[in-house]
Amino acid sequence: MEEILRILEKNCRTDPSEISELTGLEEKDVRDLISKAEEDKLILSYKAQIDWGKLGDGPVLAIIEVKIAPQRDVGFDAIAMRIARFPEVKSMHLVSGDYDLAAQVEGKNMYDISNFVTNTLSTIDAVQGTSTRFVLKRYKEEGTLIGGDDMAEGRLPVSF
Amino acid sequence: MPESTSNKYSRVSSRVDSIPSSGIRRFFDLIASSDDIISLGVGEPDFITPWNIREAAIYSIERGHTHYTSNSGTLDLRREISKYLKERAGVLYDPASEVLVTVGVSEGLDLAIRTTTEIGDEILVPQPAFVAYEPIVHMAGGKFVGIDTSMENKFVPAITELESKVTDKTRAILINNPNNPTGAVINKKVLFEIADFVLANDLIVIADEIYDRLVYGDKDAFIHFASIPGMLERTVTLNGFSKSYAMTGWRVGYAVGPEEILAGMTKLHQYTMMSAPTVAQHAAKEALSNGDSSVNEMLEAYSMRRRLLLNGLNNIGLECIEPDGAFYAFPSIEVTGLSSESFAEQLLVEEKVAVVPGNVFGPSGEGFIRCCYAASVADIKEALVRIGRFVDKHKSDR
């Protein structure tokens, strides 16, 4: 199973017949295992990773640190999920340090993001403070280098 | 100015002149002049050296580590090598006197052979074998004695064959395990038999174990020769970073063995190489200290491609032993009735796929080709389609 997941993690378009050839498992078993992983939410989603910057300005990204007050019984989780559900929030983690949450927030432009911070995020009761850092340039996302992939060029066609 | 004597005497020594030039030069020229070929003819990883290793090299340059190192290599690296072999093989080498950092296994091999071989000494070498072995033995004044192996024996040398070739001039046996080009890993039983044979005939063992990390299936199938009881004091082990850590271009490897032999090898190394490239030594140290996860990741990828290529070749009708190590498959091309060279040349011309004809690795490689699966899945799949088409055509030609 882990072998299949690692193949899909690298390229989610690898089809079951190829996975079968690579792993030695029957194609039907591969399909069943993938279905099971999808049902169990072991596989969360399949999506393309896009370099929007190539089409023009692309979206603006900010890393927002959020300080929140934990709540009785649920700790940080309830408020964290409340924030995470906003579609502007692309990823979010509970972190150690001065702040509690680190959120990656995406908007069409700077105003979109400042609007989200001032009118939405900061007005939530449990939010005690925020600190916003705008992303100036993207170098690597989800393990993929942006515009600087290493290529195995220069191998001799024959060597011993 | 003295008169030219070039008509009278060759300017190349007779010893160099007598090294047979590769009979398949034409084939390699053909490859060099072809575009858009898919090559399964390479002998190196398709991965780039892992970043932490490259970064360590950059850092060493930034820090100004641009001088010679000790002839034997940096003590840090020799300690890491010693630690690595203690952990993986359970053998102890003193970093001060029993470890030498070389310019790849190629140099280590040359040093080991030249250090141990008297003029006329015979060196037993199971074949098919790496192409450099024979010329190196020859240049050292030794006599190369090839031991044929066969697909029926899974390309593992038969003891009877060794016994039939041993003479009172036999000095050493050179073993490449896991093997290039066949991918064979010699099993424990045969290795112990070879060890008995070595003891009975008082031989030195030169163990080229460059593919030691690239073993599939049963991880215990590979055994470091020096770890066999009684073999430590008569084995020089050669290894390096090229294959396991995808570091072919760095030119760094090592030799470990008995102090006496290593001292001799170090003497030669001192006057020919001085020391292995300093930056490559820093990179190699990082590889040994923090390279394990990268090795495992590459191994998993090779393992999948190996399965893909192996099944593909067998489906095409090119019979192939299951190669337990390295990154080569060595299928028989008997069904086509072609010689290794004709097969390779025609495959290149007709289907633009490069493979290495098996006969370059010795007479028992005739009738086989070496296909390397250190290539992308897409390339392997396309190569299989083309090889399949080629084999079908030539089978029906028969």
What is the ipTM for the molecules in this complex? 0.80
One digit per residue, the tens of pLDDT, for chain A of length 160 reads: 999 999 999 999 999 999 999 999 999 999 999 999 999 999 999 999 998 888 888 899 999 999 999 888 878 999 999 999 999 999 999 999 999 999 999 999 999 999 999 999 999 989 999 999 999 999 999 888 887 766 656 788 888 8
Question: In this complex, is the C-beta atom of B315 within 8 Å of any C-beta atom belonging to chain A?
Answer: no
Which domain-ending residue is among B291, B320, B335?
Answer: B291
Contact B39 A21 (CB under 8 A): no
Determine, yes or no, domain membership for B101: yes
Assess whether B309 and B198 both reside in one domain.
Answer: no
Q: Which of B41, B47, B307 sits opposite A22 (nearest CB)?
A: B307
Q: Which residues contact A152 (CB under 8 A, 6 or more apart)?
A: B46, B47, B48
Structural domains counted in chain B: 2
- Give how far B370 is from chain A: nearest CA, Å: 10
Q: What is the DSSP letter of B20?
A: P
Q: Is residue B278 part of a domain?
A: yes
Q: Are B324 and B185 in contact (CB under 8 A)?
A: yes
| Cβ contact A158–B131 (<8 Å) | no
Query: Quick one: B280 and B325 in the same domain?
Result: no
Asked whether residue B300 is domain-assigned, the answer is yes
Angle at B31 between CA B30 and CA B34, to 5 degrees: 90
SS3 A105: strand
The reply to whether B115 and B194 lie within a common domain is yes
Query: Domain of B176?
Result: 66-291
Task: Report the residue from A7, A21, A159 with minimal CB separation from B42.
Answer: A159
Cα–Cα distance measured from residue B171 to residue B152, given in angstroms and rounded to the nearest whole number: 28
For residue B267, being part of any structural domain is answered with yes
Identify which of B42, B48, B305 has the shortest CB distance to residue A158: B42
B132 and B220 inside one domain: yes
- Position B398 in a domain: no
**Same domain (yes/no): B190, B278:** yes
**B contact test, residue of A13, A21, A23, A150 with most B CBs within 10 A:** A21
For residue B29, what pLDDT band results from cuts at 50, 70 and 90? confident
Task: List CB contacts (< 8 A) between B130 and chain A.
Answer: 160
Task: Say yes or no: B176 and B319 in one domain.
Answer: no
**Residue B1 counted as domain residue:** no
Is B232 inside a domain boundary?
yes
**Closest by Cβ to A22, choosing from B31, B180, B304:** B304
> What are the C-alpha distances in Å from B302 to residues B44, B129, B195, B297?
12, 21, 31, 9
pLDDT at B7 over 70: no
Contacts of A6 in chain B (CB under 8 A): 300
Peptide bond into B181 cis (omega under 30): yes
B308 at the A interface (CB within 8 A)?
yes
- Whether B276 and B129 share a structural domain: yes
Average pLDDT, chain B: 94
What pLDDT does residue A85 have?
96
Shortest alpha-carbon distance between residue B98 and chain A (Å): 28
Q: Report pTM.
A: 0.90
Test A150 with B43 for CB contact under 8 angstroms: no
The more confident residue out of B34 and B52 is: B52
Residue B178: asked if its preceding bond is cis (omega within 30°), the reply is: yes
CA distance A17 to chain B (A): 11
Residue at which a domain ends, from B231, B259, B291: B291
Whether residue B251 is found in the same domain as residue B372:
no
B382 in contact with A, Cβ within 8 Å = no
CATH number, domain of B31, equals 3.90.1150.10
Residue of A nearest to B358 (CA): A160
In a domain, B61, yes or no: no
Which of B240, B270, B291 finishes a domain?
B291
Q: Examine the domain organization and report whether B44 and B78 are in the same domain.
A: no
Does residue B264 share a domain with residue B301?
no
- pLDDT class of B220 with cuts at 50, 70, 90: confident
| B281 and B302 both lie in a single domain | no
pLDDT at B365: 97
Share of chain B above pLDDT 70, in %: 97
**Are the beta carbons of B48 and A21 separated by less than 8 Å?**
no
Q: How confident is the model at residue B16, as a pLDDT?
A: 87
Cβ neighbors of B381 (< 8 A, separation 6 or more) are: B308, B312
**CATH number for the domain that contains residue B231:** 3.40.640.10
Q: Are residues B302 and B336 in the same domain?
A: yes
pLDDT at B171: 98
